[in-house]
Structure 1
Amino acid sequence: MLTKGEGKFLVRFARETIEKFVRGEKVYLPNVYPEKFKEPRGVFVTLEKYPSGELRGCIGLPYPEKPLIEAVREAACSATQDPRFPPLSEGELDKITVEVSVLTKPEKIEFKSPEELLEKITPGKDGLILKRGWNSGLFLPQVWKQLPDKVQFLENLCYKAGIWDKDAWKNAEIYKFRVEAFKEKEPYGVIEYMPLQTQGKRDSV
């Protein structure tokens, strides 16, 4: 679990990383940071246009393969180059909000039927990873706001994975995880905290 102060630190670092990267400057790790940030964690950095909330970029590392502070740096740089959008420009820096989502380790869901899988998924709290063959896709828990129905969520996750059979989730590998999310309420503004166990409820840091 991260404290609100630690989450604020990560968002500020992600923002600083994004600005330096977009300006072509070198991005260094902070000289001092919490010992906890040396632990491997999965993380995603999400950029949204302000005030519309339209997605501008979202890239991350789903598995705990790198120290958290390094993962945030990598995800922040990559989010500015999300292939779904044009590269982020310097003129957009004060027109976006930055969100950092720190993931728990994804756990495989064992199920023998589609109905059993649906029972083991908690909308609003569980992020999901779908794998089938070489294809894979991930939705953060925040996506439940746009896709509140479990079946619709899974069908769209198939499309995200590049699988055009909307029923492919019924015989795919499914992993679930939770996140602690920290987000700027407005560009350079107050940072909101979404606790791990209470997805959807935000508190200001």
Structure 2
Amino acid sequence: MEKYRKRNKTNIYIMMGLSIQQGSFLVKIARKAVEEYLKNERIIKLTQIDPIYKIKRGVFTTIEEYKISNGMVNKELRGCIGFPYPSEELINLTIKSAILAATEDPRFPPLEYDELEKVVFELSILTEPKLLDVDKKKLPSMIKIGRDGLIIERGLMSGLLLPQVAVENEWDAETFLCNACLKAGLTPDAWLLKGTKVYIFQAEIFAELEPKGRIIKRNLYRNE
């Protein structure tokens, strides 16, 4: 797995503060980008847009298959790819991550155009990851479930889990760390080893409730 590039330390708790309208616009652009790419093999380009979308931020696009069974909504992962560091403008990485999630996630076959009516899109807009330079045993106490995502690095191995993954699986901080290590191809306790680096980041999450439906901003963390 490609090693995530290290960046300078920043105040990770300063979020962009996108409005629901701005987040909804980005989710719609992600869907439109995939639709245009699957239909015409063309990458959309936007020129005249609000400067907020030109700020550099990391972005992940998650695509899930949407099913209703016995009156209950079930969603299954269909693709998730993104960019953890702010290497380009937000709008550009939104388009790129959406197309990659639909076509290049090695865990799934490429999305078909006809599937667009059966999937929902979710965007996670990230703060810049920050290295937790503390005693290894203190790491769980530094991680807040629902607020933080994780990047684990050890040598050439690395893995990332978004904040919502821990919430959806009802993990505590230690279990979250162990699963991030597994995602990196490491043993579950590798976060305790000298030389393993643990980064945290936060995300603003905007998601469709149903295919092409209403878009909400997910609030996973409650600061007690």
TM over 0.5: yes
Q: Distance in 1 between matches of 2:28 and 2:48?
A: 14
Q: Which of residues 78, 97, 100 in structure 1 aligns to 2:120?
A: 97
1:123-180: CA deviation from partner (whole Å, max 9, x where unpaired): 11100100000011000001012142222211111111111x1110113101111100
Q: Which deviates further from its counterpart, 7-16 or 139-148?
A: 139-148
Q: Report what 1:146 is aligned to.
A: 169
Q: Does 1:190 align with 2:214?
A: yes
Superposed counterparts of 1:17-96, under 5 Å:
17-51=33-67, 52-81=74-103, 82-96=105-119
CA distance in 2, matches of 1:120, 1:155: 15
Structure 1: state its 5+ residue gaps.
none
**Aligned-partner residue type, residue 125 of structure 1:** R
Letter in 2 for 1:44: F
The correspondence of residues 102-121 of structure 1 with structure 2, limited to 5 A, is 102-114=125-137, 116-121=138-143
Q: TM-score, normalised by structure 2?
A: 0.84
Task: Please report how far the alpha carbon of residue 32 of structure 1 lies from its aligned counterpart in structure 2 after TM superposition.
Answer: 2.5
Which amino acid in the other structure matches residue 165 of structure 2? V
Corresponding letter in the other structure for 2:60: F
Q: Is the CA contact 1:135–1:162 (under 8 Å) kept in the aligned structure 2?
A: yes
More relative contact order, 1 or 2 (CA 8 Å, 6+ apart)? 2
Report deviation, 1:30.
2.1
Q: Aligned Cα RMSD in Å?
A: 1.3
Corresponding letter in the other structure for 2:207 = K
Aligned residues: 196
TM-score normalized by the length of structure 1: 0.91
